[in-house]
Amino acid sequence: MSAAIETHDLSKRYRRVSALTGCTVTVPEGRVCALIGPNGAGKTTLLRLLAGLAQPSGGSVAVLGGPPRQDPAFLADIGFLAQEIPLYRRFTAADHIQIGAHMNPRWDASLVRTRLTELRIPLDQRVGTLSGGQRAQVALALTLAKRPRLLLLDEPVAALDPLARRNFLATLTAAVADAEGSLTVVLSSHLVTDLERVCDHAILLAGSQVQLSGDIDTMLAEHKVLVGPRKDTGPIERAHTVVQAVTTPRQSTLLIRLGGPVIDPAYQAEDVTFEELVLAYMGAGEASASRHLTTVGEGS
């Protein structure tokens, strides 16, 4: 299977601020990839670099086999939905459908109309007068109508109520299933539980760097939570990578990335949930690059 997205040491600087550094990820085709990270981590930057809306400062990026470029065929293959829901506020949804028809060789107008009608969103009302959630649905429908091979969605569900969110994600999943491997999706969000349901691939960004990326199942298999009495963690640290350690006066809880089997019987190994994993890496990323130790309730 070829890679839909391949970046190597990708970086982006804006004047003195580094928005993204050393980003090396691979997203195979047909995956639904979650792009997770705290605010300011570089999610939007990465998405804009992938869409060709921004130029890299360093490193390389390959999307659908080549660098993002000003080429109608390439542009037709990608669908980008920005966080601000960029639509022409004075135009109606119907206007946008017509504009899309004129600006795209592949355009499924009936898809948009059916979807919006199902959602009971008026087609002939100025988009600027719709609610935030309705605008998001319109924008998503327009993006899907392009029938792209790669969907880049920047916080698409941020403005949606829980029901609408579920609906949206269901549509997304159905679209991916219908495409039978030819549609790749990258969507950024904060809502980890939603993402876990829908995504099978993840990129964790924090502090403008990639903390972890890869297949979610593999990620979960590679990490364990070790709970045990408080004692010297040296051997553990040597054998595995400790992502996060929480110590109370009596107990240590370590989230580790397995470097081999866990031999020490003092520790109980538990499976890690995706949310725990994400939070651990987020916390790790926001601190310095060295190991992060949280000490809770330490006595004298």
Q: 245 has which bridge partners?
A: 254, 293
Is residue 181 involved in binding other proteins (CB under 8 A)?
no
- Shortest gap between Cβ of 175 and other proteins (angstroms)? 18
Q: Please work out, in degrees rounded to the nearest 5, the angle formed at the alpha carbon of residue 89 by the alpha carbons of 84 and 90.
A: 170
Is residue 266 involved in binding other proteins (CB under 8 A)?
no
Q: 184 has which bridge partners?
A: 150
> Of 16, 102, 238, 250, which lies in the binding site for other proteins, with binding defined by CB under 8 A?
102
> Of 8, 9, 58, 71, which lies in the binding site for other proteins, with binding defined by CB under 8 A?
71
- Shortest gap between Cβ of 50 and other proteins (angstroms)? 11
Is residue 103 involved in binding other proteins (CB under 8 A)?
yes
Q: Which is nearer to other proteins, 88 or 170 (CB)?
A: 88
- The per-residue b/e assignment along 83-97, b for 16 or more CB within 10 angstroms, e otherwise, is eebebeeeebbbbbb
Q: Which stretch binds other proteins (CB under 8 A): 82-90, 160-168, 261-269, 272-280?
A: 82-90
> Of 9, 58, 60, 89, which lies in the binding site for other proteins, with binding defined by CB under 8 A?
89
- Sequence-distant (6+) residues with CB within 8 A of 189 are 34, 35, 36, 155, 156, 157, 158, 195
> Of 30, 79, 133, 285, which lies in the binding site for other proteins, with binding defined by CB under 8 A?
79
Is residue 99 involved in binding other proteins (CB under 8 A)?
yes
Is residue 129 involved in binding other proteins (CB under 8 A)?
no
Is residue 114 involved in binding other proteins (CB under 8 A)?
no
With residues binned 3-state (H G I as helix, E B as strand, rest as coil), the percentages for the chain, rounded to 5, are: 35, 30, 35
* Binders in 139-158 for other proteins, by CB under 8 A: 139, 142, 146
Q: Which is nearer to other proteins, 30 or 100 (CB)?
A: 100
CA dihedral 176, 181, 186, 187 (to 10 degrees): 20
CA distance 26 to 6: 5
CA distance 131 to 160: 10
Question: Parallel, antiparallel, or unpaired for β 251-257 and 241-247?
Answer: antiparallel
Is residue 104 involved in binding other proteins (CB under 8 A)?
yes
Is residue 125 involved in binding other proteins (CB under 8 A)?
no
Is residue 78 involved in binding other proteins (CB under 8 A)?
yes
> Of 58, 65, 67, 105, which lies in the binding site for other proteins, with binding defined by CB under 8 A?
105
Q: Which stretch binds other proteins (CB under 8 A): 85-93, 159-167, 218-226, 267-275?
A: 85-93
**# residues near other proteins by CB under 8 A:** 33
> Of 75, 151, 202, 245, which lies in the binding site for other proteins, with binding defined by CB under 8 A?
75
Q: Which burial class, exposed, middle or buried, applies to 138 when counting CB atoms under 10 A from its CB (0-12, 13-18, 19+)?
A: buried
- Shortest gap between Cβ of 96 and other proteins (angstroms)? 8
Which of left, alpha, beta for 99 (phi over 0: left; psi -120 to 50: alpha)?
Answer: alpha
Whats the size of the chain, residue-wise?
A: 300
Please, are residues 199 and 34 in contact by the beta-carbon 8 Å criterion?
Answer: yes
Is residue 109 involved in binding other proteins (CB under 8 A)?
no
Residues in the site for other proteins, rule: CB under 8 A?
48, 51, 53-55, 70-73, 75-76, 78-80, 82, 84, 86-89, 91, 95, 98-100, 102-106, 139, 142, 146
